Structure 1
Amino acid sequence: MTTAPIGSGMESTVPSGQPTDTAPATVADQAPTTGERRLLTGLMANSVALYAVYGAVPAVLLPNLVADIDPGSKSTSLGVISAVGAFGAMLANPVAGALSDRTHGRFGRRAPWMAGGALLGGLSLIALGLGNNLLWIGVAWALAQISLNGLQAPLTAVIPDRTPEHRRGVFSSAAGLAQMLGATLGAAAAAGFAHALGLGFAAFGVLVVIGTAVYLLLNKEPAAPAPQGEVFRWKAFLAGFWVSPRKHPDFGWAFLGRFLLVLGYYCVASYQLYILDDYLGLTRDHANHLVPLLSLSMLPGLIVMIVVSGPWSDRVGRRKPFVIASSLGMAGALALPLVLHSVASMFGYAVLSGCAFGMYMAVDTALMTQVLPRPDAAAKDMGVLNVANALPQALAPAVAAVVIGALGGYSALFVAGILLTVLGALSILPIRTVR
């Protein structure tokens, strides 16, 4: 496939997935260009808005909506609805990425998919807030997941598309900071809509449209000419989604490591409201008031570790130690509520998980961009890797429901989270082309 030129003046000239040494200090320390600053601002604005939705809906708005409609079976119902959304998310992210790789026209490759995903996602969230039965909620959430993952796939291709490799730690840090700020502030803000859920869903639907508009206005894509001499074939298109772990083992290990870490974290995070309610015995109103406080308590360590870790990994030319350390740190955070069983331990978990996830988000994206099999199919391959992020987030409530129901309640859930995050750390060790 012939790739349309990006034309941003910031493209990487180093093929992704190749081992690299530390960039020279004179290059790594250069001030960002005006184009890089615009790209950074737009990327952060869009990521904050998108991840505010991911923080607000699964953690607060959707559990409250399900509990209002089906209080007797809220845990199981939430798990089923989340599993339905997971299937849509799993398909939408890599498909939208692959289609954006092949898109041509006056508005570029990525912008049409980002705009369409944001608009449809916003409308789906508004419809979700109007739901008064489980079927409506399940369908609306699935549509929202599909649309928002259609936005996320081309958005994540921005870093491999438009940033040089020696800057990717900084951009990965910025993206990670924006994502976690969005998720944390989204969950905190959503608690204020606990008794006005329809308004809350609508507010976050509008927010994601605004965030996407900021990125697109600041970072206009050049027209993408149609590739010459290439015939589209469905068989080849569909086969492209399979990345052989035998031919590209580092890609496979990176996918597995991300999948396990995210699943372990969100198995607990998606049930935070119910943990406070059922595991610690708080009233529902008390639990709703504590959720934003727990989210805000993550912020100091989160911000510090994101700001420090990405540039630090650029300077030392290493990614793996940061990702492994953050995964093990997450396991330690999950152990606190298991052992101590108190509100204080939940705050300790929040602080430590903020530090761990801050380091993880700062460096993981940079590592992922360096194991891509084909730089000319960056959005498709990043979309496949995003399945390891979106799918476990969507599956986590369903997996957690099974663990809680079949293996001994919320204590078993914390044990499962610890095991998954440790296995995620171990999965990074075999990667060879990234230090």
Structure 2
Amino acid sequence: MTTAPTGSGPSPVNAPAKAARPTRPPGERRLLGGLMANTAVLYAAYGAVPAVLLANLVADVDPDSKSTSLGIISAIGAFGAMLANPIAGALSDRTHGRFGRRAPWMAGGALLGGLSLVAVGAGNNLLWIGVAWTLAQIFLNGLQAPLTAVVPDRTPAHRRGFFSSAVGLAQMVGVTAGTAVAAAFAHALGLGFAVFGVLVIAGTAVFLLLNREPAAAAPAGEAFRWKAFLTGFWVSPRRHPDFAWAFLGRFLLVLGYYCVSAYQLYVLDDYLGLTRDRANDLVPLLSLAMLPGLIVMIVVSGPWSDRVGRRKPFVFAASIGMAVALVLPLALRSEASMFAYAVLAGGAFGMYMAVDTALMTQVLPRPDDAAKDMGVLNIANALPQALAPAVAAGVIGAAGGYRALFVTAIVLVILGAFSILPIRAVR
């Protein structure tokens, strides 16, 4: 595996196509199915580990300071995720050889990430758990960056709403199923980590075998230079304001959502006053409550946005819907309010992920750097998820309770909604 020159090229404006649609490319169904399956197993691990397996493991190892310890471990892992995602994407952009640009990085990230998850489950002290989880974050984000580049790489612009809906559906089904399945391993944590590690490895292997990437030739351009490579991660908000607004909008909404979602076990335990066993029983039920609205909105929203040629109204409405959902458990502290929150949040987040992914593919500065730029944008998705426990711990500790956590989450998602409005290249 070798790296290719940096190259240069024009910055396209990718507006939703409303003209005559070309014939669908051959192998589209196989690509779609493989992409959804691989995404689902990756996000199953993302749903299972922070919210259930890691939270329970930290609570077992350090029950007196579980909130603070989970926040510190998550913050360290977040730093690894922040670096790995765009770096892996940029390296895959410049990789050439008979196995293609993305496949070698996906294979390596899945294998090492899966093994790291197994290592987390074997930990019996905070240092081991923190190091192993950081490695898992690094390698899994090394898989995620080239995986997300498959959509801009291999799908036409007029089909990206459909593909984004499919990928968004896979993400949320993966998170929901992962959370539900993980609850069954609440008393067998080591086995639970191993199961999700194997799933990530197997899901990636199946995708790569069924959707072989063509060999990639080295592009012409300037010779590879480290300075240019490292400075390429900075996307100027002045030169590419749409890219910056898209990044900010997703970062704020995902952070607000996962501040509550990542602490769901502790919310049920400490905020509602339930026992640990009752809280573990409710976690999968709340995940299942999200599914109906989530599936419907993901399936409907992406193709609908393709037909009308608009993305921003969908993203804005979904963000406001998320804020309304978060108000419910703040106003009424009960199991019923948590279920109502789950139902509304599922629909809002489903619409958001379906359409926002399509929007992001249309604000990329350069087609030759698609994986790197998608990797930078993925920071707005992966980093808030990893940072959310640390932010939640800080809010709970500073403000003295979970009500402040819900208020913070509501403010964040509303700010995320208004961050989408200044985007000009996409309607």
The alignment's TM-score, normalised by the length of structure 1, stands at: 0.95
Q: Deviations 1:278-319 (Å, cap 9, x if unpaired)?
A: 000000000000000000000000000000000000000000
Q: Look up the equivalent residue of 2:349 and give its one-letter code.
A: F
Tell me if the contact between 2:47 and 2:178 (Cα under 8 Å) persists in the aligned partners. yes
Query: What residue is the counterpart of 1:27 in the other structure?
Result: 21
Q: How does 1:399-414 map to 2 (within 5 A)?
A: 399-414=391-406
Q: Look up the equivalent residue of 1:216 and give its one-letter code.
A: L
Gaps of 5+ in 1: 5-14
Q: How does 1:382-401 map to 2 (within 5 A)?
A: 382-401=374-393
Instruction: Classify 1:244/1:229 alpha carbon distance in 2 versus 1 (closer, same or farther; 3 Å).
Output: closer
- CA drift of 1:213 comes to 1.1
Tell me if the contact between 2:16 and 2:157 (Cα under 8 Å) persists in the aligned partners. no
Q: Deviations 1:131-186 (Å, cap 9, x if unpaired)?
A: 00000000000000000000000000011111111000000000000000000000
- Structure 1 Cα separation of the partners of residues 247 and 16 of structure 2: 23
Instruction: Classify 1:396/1:21 alpha carbon distance in 2 versus 1 (closer, same or farther; 3 Å).
Output: closer
Tell me if the contact between 2:14 and 2:363 (Cα under 8 Å) persists in the aligned partners. no
Q: Look up the equivalent residue of 2:186 and give its one-letter code.
A: A
Q: How does 1:17-416 map to 2 (within 5 A)?
A: 18=13, 20=15, 22-24=17-19, 27=21, 32-228=24-220, 230-416=222-408
Instruction: Classify 1:2/1:133 alpha carbon distance in 2 versus 1 (closer, same or farther; 3 Å).
Output: closer
- Structure 2 Cα separation of the partners of residues 175 and 395 of structure 1: 23
Tell me if the contact between 2:294 and 2:350 (Cα under 8 Å) persists in the aligned partners. yes
Residue 21 of structure 2 aligns to a residue whose secondary structure is helix
Instruction: Classify 1:19/1:152 alpha carbon distance in 2 versus 1 (closer, same or farther; 3 Å).
Output: closer
- Structure 2 Cα separation of the partners of residues 207 and 355 of structure 1: 27
- Structure 2 Cα separation of the partners of residues 112 and 20 of structure 1: 31
Gaps of 5+ in 2: none
Percent identity between matched residues is 80
Aligned pairs, how many?
A: 422
Q: Look up the equivalent residue of 1:133 and give its one-letter code.
A: N
Q: Look up the equivalent residue of 2:69 and give its one-letter code.
A: S
- CA drift of 1:20 comes to 2.5
- CA drift of 1:228 comes to 3.8
- Structure 2 Cα separation of the partners of residues 3 and 217 of structure 1: 28
- CA drift of 1:227 comes to 3.0
Tell me if the contact between 1:154 and 1:379 (Cα under 8 Å) persists in the aligned partners. yes
Q: Look up the equivalent residue of 1:380 and give its one-letter code.
A: K
Q: Deviations 1:349-393 (Å, cap 9, x if unpaired)?
A: 000000000001111110000000001100000000001111110
Residue 27 of structure 2 aligns to a residue whose secondary structure is helix
- CA drift of 1:270 comes to 0.4
The alignment's TM-score, normalised by the length of structure 2, stands at: 0.97
- CA drift of 1:229 comes to 5.1
- Structure 1 Cα separation of the partners of residues 222 and 101 of structure 2: 17
Q: Deviations 1:237-291 (Å, cap 9, x if unpaired)?
A: 0000000000000000000000000000000000000000000000000000000
Q: Look up the equivalent residue of 1:152 and give its one-letter code.
A: Q
Tell me if the contact between 1:17 and 1:434 (Cα under 8 Å) persists in the aligned partners. no
- CA drift of 1:36 comes to 1.0
Q: Look up the equivalent residue of 1:393 and give its one-letter code.
A: Q
- CA drift of 1:16 comes to 7.2
Q: Look up the equivalent residue of 1:78 and give its one-letter code.
A: L
